[in-house]
Structure 1
Amino acid sequence: MRGQAATIGNASAGQDLVALRAENDQLRRAPAGRAVIDRARGMVMVLTPCSRGAARDLLVDISRQCDTRLPEVAAALVVAWKGKSLPERMQRALRRTVRRFHVEDQGRDSRQPGKSSR
């Protein structure tokens, strides 16, 4: 009985250790993911003059269209900025998203009081 309790205790401690290591790895990767998302967001803000929130929304939309995690989309955009080609699927999603953003933005501008529509 005593040996069985020790084994159960060790199994639980082993599972806890595995869970803690996984959580630690995730916490270590999180800042790097946020940094690449921030960099990609800044790129989007430059390319499609928009607010920080709108840039994040654009990235999230691309992520959803491609069924790819946001940090992966952001990393692909950053690498593309440096000369590597963006995967075709992301290129299409980026074009659709930016086009839709500009159409929506033009609609907002034309509805604002005091703005003339040309």
Structure 2
Amino acid sequence: MHRTTMFPENWWDLAAEATVGDAAGQDVVALRAEVGLLRRALAGRAVIDQACGMVMVLAPCRRGPARKLLVDMSRQCNTRLPEVAAAMVAAWEGEPLSRLMRRALRHALRRLYAEDPGCDPSPPDGATGRGRS
């Protein structure tokens, strides 16, 4: 038999009370903490994917090198990857990148073009925008 359970809309915000000897309560607390981490990871993932797509179009390169470029920028700026990705998306929408991020982007692009022969710094001749044929 299948049973559907309805939870209140903000059920994850409810505090779980667990005593030291209450294993089930401790499991609930651990699971809620894990759910919180997964929610934050998923929220950052969307903006990272969007920024990767932008880099793939503009560089032009494949997904792996595009993500590596964002990670490289993140390390250079000492900033979390979702924050770098959000800044890139905001730049696409007209907000200027900070001086530190512009510098990190230039260095990351130079490294990308030097390391990955599949990336092409010159604009493609065709309409695909995907680099060399």
TM score, norm. by length of structure 2: 0.63
Name the % identity. Answer: 68
Structure 1 Cα separation of the partners of residues 39 and 115 of structure 2? 38
- How many corresponding residue pairs? 102
Asked if residue 91 in structure 1 is aligned to residue 106 in structure 2, the reply is: no
Structure 1 Cα separation of the partners of residues 87 and 108 of structure 2? 16
Gaps of 5+ in 1: 1-5, 110-118
Instruction: Provide Cα deviations, 1:28-77, integer angstroms capped at 9, x if missing partner.
Output: 12222111111000000111011111101111111111111111111111
Whether the 8 Å CA contact 2:56–2:62 is kept in 1: the answer is yes
Given residue 38 of structure 1, which amino acid in structure 2 is its aligned partner?
Answer: D
Whichever structure has more helix as a proportion of its residues is 1
Aligned-partner SS, 1:103? helix
Across the aligned residues of Structure 1 and Structure 2, the Cα RMSD in angstroms comes to 2.6
Greater Rg, structure 1 or structure 2? Answer: 1
Gaps of 5+ in 2: 1-17, 121-133
Whether the 8 Å CA contact 2:70–2:81 is kept in 1: the answer is yes
- Residue pairs, 1:51-90, within 5 angstroms: 51-90=62-101
Aligned-partner SS, 2:21? helix
Structure 1 Cα separation of the partners of residues 20 and 72 of structure 2? 47
Q: Provide the residue aligned with 1:21 in structure 2.
A: 32
Distance 1:13 1:89, change over 3 A: farther
Given residue 111 of structure 2, which amino acid in structure 1 is its aligned partner?
Answer: R
Q: 2:111 aligns with which of 97, 100, 107?
A: 100
Structure 2 Cα separation of the partners of residues 19 and 81 of structure 1? 39
Whether the 8 Å CA contact 2:69–2:109 is kept in 1: the answer is yes
Which 4+ residue blocks in structure 1 deviate beyond 6 angstroms?
A: none
